[in-house]
Structures are given as C-alpha cells and as structure tokens.
Amino acid sequence: MATFSDHFFEAATRAVAAIDRTAVEAMATELAKVRERGGRLFLIGVGGSAGHASHATNDFRKICGFEAYCPTDNVSELTARINDEGWEGAFSTWLESSRLKAEDGLLIFSVGGGSLNPPVSANIVRALQLAKERGATITGIVGRNGGYTAEVADVCVVVPTVDPGLITPLVEGLAAVVWHLLVSHPALAQSKGHWEQIAPSPAAAE
C-alpha cells in the first residue's frame, strides 16, 4: 500500500520534472550580468522564504562572489521600519535606503509571488514596484501562478502546482533546490562548497 511518503516524493518528482529549465538557465545568465556590471543582489522573502533569502545570500556571497544582502537579516532595522513605517513598506524603504539602482538585482522567494488584489505579501509587491521604477533586474523563484513577481520579473522560475494540498512544502522545498542549482551553475559559481573541495576523487575512493 502506498504511504504518504510515497505520495509526497512522487509529487515532488513530478514538480521537478515540470520546472522550466529554460527559465532556470535564463536566470543564471541574468544574475551573472548583474555581477559582471558591479551590481548588488538583494534577496527578499517572508516567512519560510525569509529563511531561504538569508541562506541564499550566504551562498551567493561565498560561492558566487556577489555583493548580496537580505533585509530580514537585520532584525533591528526591519522591526523599526515595520513599527514606524508599516509592514507593507518595510522592504521598499529598506531598498531606498540601500540606494537601489538599475545595476542591481532582486531575487524574490515567495510561494504565491505577491498580489495586489487581493493584497497578499504587499511588502514584496511594493519592493518589486520600486525595483521596476529603478530599472533593476528582477528575478524570482515562486509558486502557484507566479503572482505579481511573474508579472514584472525579467526572469521567473515557477514551481508548478502538482498537488493543491502540497503547494507550500513543494514550492519552498524546490525553491531551495533551484537556488542551489544556481549557485552551483558554471555561469555563477566561483568556488566550490567545503565538502565538494575535500571530497575524494572517484579514483581515490576506490
């Protein structure tokens, strides 16, 4: 008899198979352009995606040599902005203070991609609007129909819905797979991870 584990892994396999590889390759190319022109990369997400943004910032800095930042890493500043300016503008005002410019890039992590109507993740929408105004490169790894992120992004990878009951875990799980693919991509990676550097070669392991 099939178990829930069987079902979950089967759904994950179908979702991976349905991800647009062309979009992933295009995102690697666009992010490489940001780095080549001396732009900074700002990574944004809320909830579990905030954790993704923080983790990915480490990877893009350490492995790929980006000047990369994540607004949710600075709890003092973020909570001050939420308290004084409101949650919706917390990211956009942070980007304004960071002097966001056309050379820079945004990487959005979001299950739904943000929405104006109904207002969902309006803080992400406001950040995207500012990035669009400034001419910054916009990329995103999102789920569902891609939301506002997919509408305005230069490149967006959408994790397809293969099971309506597993949208969030599959999108968040596979977003991590996609960003780890990106930081390992030959167009972006400038070094290997620690374990890849110390792992024995196949010949040495025999």
Indicate the SS3 state at residue 195.
helix
What are 193-202's contacts with CB under 8 Å, separation 24+?
193/63
Percent of the chain with pLDDT over 90: 88
How many whole angstroms separate alpha carbon 156 and alpha carbon 153? Answer: 6
How many whole angstroms separate alpha carbon 81 and alpha carbon 31? Answer: 28
Question: How confident is the prediction along the chain (206 residues), in pLDDT tens digits per residue?
Answer: 899 999 999 999 999 999 999 999 999 999 999 999 999 999 999 999 999 999 999 999 999 999 999 999 999 999 999 999 899 999 999 999 999 999 999 999 999 999 988 889 999 999 999 999 999 999 999 999 999 999 999 999 999 999 999 999 999 999 999 999 999 999 999 988 888 888 776 655 55
pTM of the model: 0.93
| Residue 88 near residue 123, CB atoms below 8 Å | yes
The residues spanned by each domain of the chain are: 21-188
**Which contiguous run of DSSP H or E holds residue 167?**
helix 167-184
> What fold is seen in the domain 21-188?
Rossmann fold (3.40.50)
Count CB atoms within 10 A of the CB of residue 177: 15
User: Which pLDDT value is given to residue 197?
Assistant: 85
